[in-house]
Amino acid sequence: MEYKFCENDNFEDYSSGRVLYGNRGIPNFPVRLINEIFRRCIYYCENKSDLTVYDPCCGGGYSLTVLGLCNNEVIADILGSDIDKRMIEYAKKNTDLLSQAGLKKRIDEIEGMLQLYSKASHSEALESAKRIKDVIKHEINIDIFEADCTIPLNIDKKIDIIITDVPYGNLVDWKGEHESGIYVMMKQLSKIANPSTVLAISMDKHEKVNNNEWKRCEKNIIGKRKFEIYKLI
């Protein structure tokens, strides 16, 4: 796949477990790729700034936090939901890093670990955290909540971009009587979208997507995964 909008920069500051919180079972997404997908969404989006971004399968909030840091100047609101309470706890911790207060708390935490263990990894994490601190030009409004995106969602904000990664074994394996989990999710997302909303879904490349509400703008395959971008019909 050709990258059109995201340069091949050094993204090690955003590595999972370095400054951003990581743990077993918490999915992460390639930093360059999630930014490329997001910026392709902006291309299709009527709004180009003050964006409201929603991830209905946010997991530990890694992708949302990366997007908030790398695109701080154009995002006004971030919403994230997940069905897993444990993931929601981590998503709140990660997206809290988008605030100066939350990042200062993380810096204090890393400094404490550095004093205790004197590990090079902690020293490197501290330098990364200080660089990230300079990235935050304004604070994004954050709302992280528990929700099942295959049933009606209680969201009243006007959403510009919905972007999510459906991990294998989550919605991909969930089957209704006649409909796939992704189909059901897209149906529910159409109810909270508006005519200008852009939807991007990353999924297993073998997943077949059929729906009556969304028109596909593009599809790209990367290894064993693919992402598709849609707008409402």
* Structural tokens at position 231: 């707008």
The answer to whether 162 touches 200, Cβ cutoff 8 Å, is yes
- Domain membership of residue 194 (yes or no) is yes
Q: Kindly tell me the burial class for residue 7, based on how many C-beta atoms sit within 10 Å of its own C-beta (0-12, 13-18, 19 or more).
A: exposed
- Per-residue buried b or exposed e for 190-228, using 16+ beta carbons within 10 Å of the residue's own CB: bebbeeebbbbbbbeeebebebebbeebeebeeeebbbb
The helix (run of H) or strand (run of E) holding residue 218 is strand 214-222
- Domain membership of residue 18 (yes or no) is no
Residue 167's pLDDT band, with cuts at 50, 70 and 90, is confident
Q: What is the CATH number of the domain that holds 45?
A: 3.40.50.150
Strand partners, 200: 163, 229
- Domain membership of residue 125 (yes or no) is no
* Structural tokens at position 64: 């949302």
Tell me how far CA of residue 193 lies from CA of 41, 148, 166, 186, 188, in angstroms. Answer: 14, 16, 19, 10, 9
Residue 208's pLDDT band, with cuts at 50, 70 and 90, is confident
- Domain membership of residue 94 (yes or no) is yes
Residue 130: count of CB within 10 angstroms of its CB: 14
pTM for this prediction: 0.95
Nearest alpha-carbon partner for 214 in 44, 73, 100, 84 = 44
Give the 3-state secondary structure percentages of the chain, helix then strand then coil, rounded to 5: 35, 20, 40
In this prediction, residue 171 carries a pLDDT of: 53
Place of tokens 């919180």: 21
Residue 66: count of CB within 10 angstroms of its CB: 23
Residue 117's pLDDT band, with cuts at 50, 70 and 90, is very high
Mean pLDDT to the nearest integer, 56-60: 96
In this prediction, residue 168 carries a pLDDT of: 63
- Domain membership of residue 131 (yes or no) is no
Mean pLDDT to the nearest integer, 106-130: 97
Please determine, for residue 90, whether its predicted confidence score (pLDDT) is greater than 80. Answer: yes
Total domain count, the chain = 1
Cα–Cα distance, 98 to 120 (Å, whole number): 25
- Domain membership of residue 153 (yes or no) is yes
- Domain membership of residue 10 (yes or no) is no
Strand partners, 16: 20
Task: Print the domain residue range for 175.
Answer: 30-99+138-232
- Domain membership of residue 81 (yes or no) is yes
